[in-house]
Amino acid sequence: MSEELVVRNLKKWFARSRGLFSREQEYVKAVDDISFEIEKGQVLCLAGESGCGKTTTGRLILRLVEPTEGSVSLRGVDIFTLKKEELREKRREMQMIFQDPYESLDPRMDVFSILAEPLEVNRIASGYGELRERVHKALEDVRLVPVEEFIRRFPHELSGGQRQRVAIARALMLEPTFIVADEPVSMLDASIRTEILNLLKELREKYDLTFLYITHDIAQARYVGDDLMVMYLGRVVEKGPMEDVILEPLHPYTKALISNVPVPDPEAQRERIPLTGETPTPIDLPEGCRFHPRCCEAGERCSQVEPGLVKVGNDRWVACHVQAATPTRANNI
Partner 1 sequence: MPVLEVEGLVTHYLTKQGPVDAVSGVSFTVDAGQTFGLAGESGCGKTTIALSIMGLLPSNGRVMGGRIILDGEDLLGKDEKELREVRWRKVSIVFQGAMNALNPVINVGEQIAEVIIEKEGVRKDEAWNRVRELFDLVELEPDRVTDYPHEFSGGMRQRVMIAMALANYPKLVIADEPITALDVIVQNQILDLMKNLQGRLNLSQILITHDLSVIAETCDKVGIMYAGKLMEYGEAAPIFKTPLHPYTSALIGAYPSIVGEKRDLKFIPGAPPNLINPPTGCRFHPRCPHAQEICGQEEPEYREESLGHYTACHFVEELRDTLRLGGH
Partner 2 sequence: MTVEVHSTEPIERERFSASIRRLKEFWALYKTSKIGMFGLLLVLAFIVIALLAPWVAPYDPRALVGRPFLPPMEGHPLGTDQVGRDIYSQLLWGSRISLMVGLLASAFSVAIGTAIGLLSGYFRGPLDSILMRITDLFITLPSIPLMLILAAILGRSVWNIIFVIAITGWTGTARMVRAQTLSIKERPYVEAARSVGARDSQIMFRHILPNIVPLIFANAIVGIVNAILSESGLSFLGLGDPTKPSWGLILRYANEAGAMATGRLWFIIPPGVCIMLIAIGFAFSSYSLDEILNPRLRERRG
**Residue with Cβ nearer partner 1 (261 or 325):** 261
Minimum Å distance from CB 50 to partner 2?
17
- How many of the other CB atoms lie within 10 Å of CB of 332? 11
Contact 221, 94 (CB under 8 A): no
Using rule CB under 8 A, residue 126 touches partner 1: no
Cβ-based nearer residue to partner 1, 264 or 327: 264
Residues near 174 by beta carbon (within 8 Å), at least 6 away in sequence: 91, 92, 93, 95, 118, 119, 122, 124
Read off the DSSP letter of residue 288.
Answer: S
112 or 211: CB nearest partner 2: 112
Query: Interface mask (CB under 8 A) for partner 1, residues 177-206, using x and -?
Result: ------------xxxxxxx-xx--------
Q: Are 128 and 112 a contacting pair, CB within 8 Å?
A: no
Give the amino acid at 237. Answer: V
Q: Which is nearer to partner 2, 121 or 219 (CB)?
A: 121
226 forms part of the interface with partner 1 (CB under 8 A): no
Between CA 138 and CA 295 the distance in angstroms is 48
Which among partner 2, partner 1, none contacts residue 103 (Cβ within 5 to 8 A by kind)? partner 2
Beta bridge pairs of residue 6: 37, 73
> Alpha-carbon distance 319 to 325, whole Å?
11
Helix (H, G, I), strand (E, B) or coil at 253: helix
Q: By the 8 A CB rule, do 155 and 107 touch?
A: yes
Residue 104 contact, options partner 2, partner 1, none, Cβ 5-8 Å cut-off depending on partner type = partner 2
H/E stretch holding 329 = helix 327-331
**Residue among 66, 85, 148, 265 that touches partner 1 (CB under 8 A):** 265
For partner 2, which is the closer residue by CB, 188 or 295?
Answer: 188
Least distance in angstroms from the C-beta of 80 to partner 1: 31
56 vs 95, beta carbon nearer partner 2: 95
Q: Least CB distance from residue 277 to partner 1, whole Å? A: 9
Which residues are paired to 180 by β-bridges?
A: 96, 212
Toward partner 2, which CB reaches closer, 189 or 248?
189
Interface residues toward partner 2, by CB under 8 A? 62, 64, 88-89, 91-92, 95-96, 98-100, 102-110, 112-113, 116-118, 121-122, 128, 131-132, 136, 140, 145-148, 151-152, 154-156, 160, 167, 170, 173-174
- Residues from 9 through 68 that contact partner 1 (CB under 8 A): 49-50
Non-local CB neighbours of 218 within 8 Å, separated by 6+ positions: 47, 228, 246, 257, 258, 261
| Residue 214 or 242 having the CB closest to partner 2 | 214
Contacts 24+ apart (CB under 8 A), 319-323: 319/235, 319/236, 319/237, 319/238, 319/251, 319/289, 320/237, 320/250, 320/251, 320/252, 320/289, 321/289, 322/252, 322/297, 322/298, 323/250, 323/251, 323/252
- Count interface residues toward partner 1 (CB under 8 A): 39
Applying CB under 8 A, which part among 8-16, 92-100, 205-213, 273-281 lies near partner 1? 273-281
Interaction with partner 1 in 141-180: which residues (CB under 8 A)? 159, 161
Dist. CA 105–CA 162, nearest whole Å: 11
Amino acid found at 209: L
Residue 118 interface partner, choices partner 1, partner 2, none, CB cut-off 5-8 Å depending on type: partner 2
Residues engaged in binding partner 1 (CB under 8 A): 49-50, 159, 161, 189-195, 197-198, 216, 218-220, 222-223, 243, 246, 256-258, 260-268, 270, 272, 274-275, 278-279
